[in-house]
């Protein structure tokens, strides 16, 4: 199950339940604010996102570039993001 949403009450937060898309945002430099537990096995990743009234939110733009094969990231940074998010999931932090 994938969840992507911008909370209108917390306009600088971007929520996502897909692990690898979350890895992409983390690698692209988006700060992970917290994890929200959905159930025993699923988490929602909450990232800080810029809220520019003149354009779409930055997280959506990065994910669009990812899906269009236009995003390039450092391989070492990508692996570090995978390991960090897995650690956070398994430690419940």
Residue ranges covered by each domain of the chain: 4-91
Q: How far apart are CA 53 and CA 71, in angstroms?
A: 23
22-32 pLDDT, tens digit each = 999 999 999 99
Region 82-90 average pLDDT: 94
31-51 pLDDT, tens digit each = 999 999 988 888 999 999 876
Q: Please state the pTM of the whole predicted model.
A: 0.80
What percent of the chain is helix, strand and coil (3-state, nearest 5)? 40, 20, 40
* Higher-pLDDT residue of 89, 3: 89
Place of tokens 């809220």: 51
- The two tokens of residue 83 are 């390991």
Apex CA 71: angle with CA 25 and CA 69, to 5°? Answer: 120
Q: How far apart are CA 26 and CA 14, in angstroms?
A: 12
| Number of neighbours of residue 68 by Cβ within 10 angstroms | 8
Portion of the chain with pLDDT greater than 70, in percent: 80
């Amino acid at each position: 199950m994938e969840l992507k949403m911008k909370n209108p009450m917390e306009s600088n937060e971007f929520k996502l339940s897909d692990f690898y898309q979350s890895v992409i945002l983390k690698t692209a430099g988006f700060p992970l604010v917290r994890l929200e537990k959905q159930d025993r096995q699923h988490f929602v990743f909450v990232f800080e996102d810029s809220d520019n009234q003149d354009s779409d939110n930055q997280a959506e733009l990065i994910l669009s570039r990812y899906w269009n094969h236009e995003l390039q990231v450092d391989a070492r940074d990508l692996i570090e993001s995978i390991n960090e998010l897995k650690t956070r999931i398994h430690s419940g932090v």
